[in-house]
Structure 1
Amino acid sequence: MTPQYDPTETSLLQAALTHVPFDGWSEATFNVAVADSGVDPVVARALFPRGALDLAMTFHRRGDDEMVRRLDATDMSDMKFRDRVTLAVRLRLEAAEDRETVRRGTTLFSLPIHAADGAKLIWGTADRIWTALGDTSDDVNWYTKRATLSAVYSSTVLYWLGDVSVDHQATWAFLDRRIGDVMQIEKVKAQLRGNALIGRVFAGPAWVLSKVKAPVAARDDLPGQQTKSS
């Protein structure tokens, strides 16, 4: 399902994207976007109270939307699950299209004052991927899956920004290796769970972790959501 975006927000964002490669996600870019789009400055500030920062976050989330749209349009019935995850990350990067715009966003969210917003966006991307792929976990695995994928996505983005290979082939090979590393970790975890001795040693911590549950409703301070079944 294609999201319905506010046309005024879209107009401001499109106007800003013309200037981001040169001026970054800055106040100057926001002001020029307001002027170029013809949007009333008061309305623009109401839509994006923090100016270019909120524009950058909107740009990222719309990239997530496009990634989900492309996933939904892809027949993954014959794909292994690891390949579906790999595809999702690749589609997310391809949805960004302009690397310089992403580079400028990476610079913005690397600043200490905006680091929490950047981390929330990356977590949100990982959550969108797992949700789109049908993840049904409702325990501590809900968190570990998203934390692991956040790390994979972040490292792949940084590699992609510096990749000069034809059609980003080096990036896709890097991504495949990172997913392979994660699969090896999951394999080891499964072996440990099947070991009776280790199971007894970690019985206490395992019991504590079993009490951790996924969020049951959307919250402003927690990216992603998990809803109760009716």
Structure 2
Amino acid sequence: MTADDEDIRAKLLDAALMHVPFDGWTRASFTAAVRDSGIDPALAEAICPRGALDLAVAFHRRGDAQMVARLEAADLAGMRFRDRIAAAVRYRLEATQDKEAVRRGVTLFALPPHAPEGAKLIWGTCDLIWTTLGDSSDDLNWYTKRATLSGVYSSTVLYWLGDTSPGHQQTWEFLDRRIDDVMQIEKLKAKARKAPVLGALLAGPNWLASRVRAPKGPDRDAEPGHWASGS
């Protein structure tokens, strides 16, 4: 997609956001966005062949881009790593000015035909968080970090949608508790690996896990990863 196409899609998205709170990410919102933006309908269909679904994806990725920009500008050097993760999730939620558009997106991506797309978007957000924070893992940890954070992020979004506390303070406390839970699990796993009996039992699975490698290449979504060769 060219820069011009991106600009047109952004214009369509801006126009659609006026209608999404009322009509959801639907054909009605897409049609209204085309009309309000003044973009030729044929061109709009070419750039967004799936209509409002493509705009919902663009809306999510716009929030991702804003989160990354804020992370890169922030001074996180003095923070514990778990606090950097919490800050990243908070930045991602704060990047969204329209909570109702998110709510409508959750409804859209909960539908069976669109659930894989929604899962891919959440995974992409969590991948961006880890990558922006400097994650260099190349083994099974690459997957477990993103899978774990996907669970934390998803549950926090749902809590945030129903949070009416000042400044969403209850959401940030909920997020801290979820991250603390994950940290406790990681500590238990570390202790289990050091236990002689469990260490012996886990030797085979650990060897298999050590063969898994993170996906490579410019389009990591297209690659599920690979198996490390050698002994």
Verify same fold: TM over 0.5: yes
| TM-score, normalised via structure 1 length | 0.93
Paired-residue identity, %:
64
Partner of 1:152: 152
1:153-181 residue CA offsets vs partner (Å, 9 max, x unmatched):
00000000001111101100000000000
Q: Superposition pairs for residues 31-110 of structure 1, below 5 Å?
A: 31-110=31-110
Count of aligned pairs between the two proteins: 222
CA distance in 2, matches of 1:122, 1:223: 16
Paired residue for 1:142? 142
Check 1:222–1:24 CA distance in 2 against 1; reply closer, same or farther (3 A cut): farther
* Per-residue deviation, 1:6: 2.4
- Is the aligned partner of 1:131 residue 2:131? yes
Show CA shifts across 1:68-109 (max 9, x none): 001111100100000000000000000012110100000000
2:214 maps to 214
Tell me which amino acid in the other structure corresponds to 2:42. V
**Is 1:188 aligned to residue 188 of structure 2?**
yes
Aligned AA (1:134):
G
Which residue of 2 is the match for residue 227 of structure 1?
Answer: none
Report the Cα offset of residue 205 of structure 1: 0.8
Could you tell me which runs of 5 or more consecutive residues in structure 2 were left unpaired when the two chains were aligned: 226-231
So what's the TM-score if we normalise by structure 2?
Answer: 0.92
Contact 2:85/2:129, CA 8 A, preserved across alignment: yes
Tell me how far 1:196 sits from its aligned partner: 2.5
> Distance between the aligned counterparts of 1:152 and 1:220, measured in 2?
21
Shift in Å at residue 194 of structure 1? Answer: 1.8
- Look up the SS of the partner of 1:11 in the other structure: helix
> 2: CA distance between counterparts of 1:30 and 1:191?
53
Query: Looking at both structures, which has the greater relative contact order when contacts are Cα pairs under 8 Å and sequence separation is at least 6?
Result: 1
Give the structure 1 partner of residue 198 of structure 2.
198
Identify unmatched segments of 5+ residues in structure 1. 225-230
**CA contact under 8 A between 2:216 and 2:223: conserved in structure 1?**
no
Asked if the contact 1:124/1:223 (under 8 Å) is kept, the reply is: no
CA RMSD of superposed structures (Å):
1.7
Instruction: Describe the shift of the 1:180–1:197 C-alpha distance in structure 2 as closer, same or farther (beyond 3 A).
Output: same
